[in-house]
Amino acid sequence: MLEEKVRKVIRDIPDFPKKGIIFKDITTLLNKGDLFSEVIDYFAKKYKDVDFVCGIESRGFIFGSAIAYAIKKGFVPLRKKGKLPYTTVSEKYALEYGFDEIEMHIDAFGDVKNPKVLLVDDLIATGGTAEAGVKLIQKVGGKVVAAAFLIELTFLDGAKKIRELGIEVDSLVKY
């Protein structure tokens, strides 16, 4: 089963980036080409009918762009404030220690009207970043059909926040 194979290769790093946090290191998945391909194929098969894939900086770029490539659709990066070169829209979101902000280009979907969008990131924890991503996509006229994550930290209830927005949440591995 894919979930178990992925779970076995994800490495826990205690006290990173700060004491008390157990960081889920996905580099141990990325360097296993066959397994990484299986993960991309899993999501690509399920979401082949979307118009665009949006990936959240930075590990969402890895998974999102690979999925977009596999389904031959456009990829749209959602970046930290100040990193995109053209006119953007932005959305702030809360962190446990303050606020952050992500942006996307106002013309990210080109001439496509009401595009169906898959939102992708490596992990969902509290859901703040994913919620901001949903709001950004909606601001420029997109409809998020699903949010896909490699990992979900269920004890933090972030997926519930996204589901309450009426969006399907697909998490391959749950902790």
- Residue ranges of alpha helices (H) inside the chain are 2-9, 27-30, 33-46, 59-71, 128-139, 158-163
Give the model's pLDDT for residue 94. Answer: 87
Higher pLDDT, 3 or 99: 3
Query: What average pLDDT does this structure show over 4-16?
Result: 97
Q: What is the DSSP letter of 157?
A: T
Query: Average model confidence (pLDDT) for the chain?
Result: 97
Torsion, Cα of 71, 74, 79, 83 (10° steps): 140
CB 129 within 8 A of CB 95: no
pLDDT in tens, 164-174: 999 999 999 99
Query: What average pLDDT does this structure show over 115-137?
Result: 97
CB 137 within 8 A of CB 129: no
Give the model's pLDDT for residue 136. Answer: 97
CB 136 within 8 A of CB 102: yes
Active site positions, annotated: 59, 96
CATH architecture of the domain 48-174 equals: 3-Layer(aba) Sandwich (3.40)
Give the model's pLDDT for residue 172. Answer: 98
The ranges assigned to domains in the chain are 48-174
pLDDT in tens, 32-84: 999 999 999 999 999 999 999 999 999 999 999 999 999 999 999 999 999 99
Give the model's pLDDT for residue 150. Answer: 98
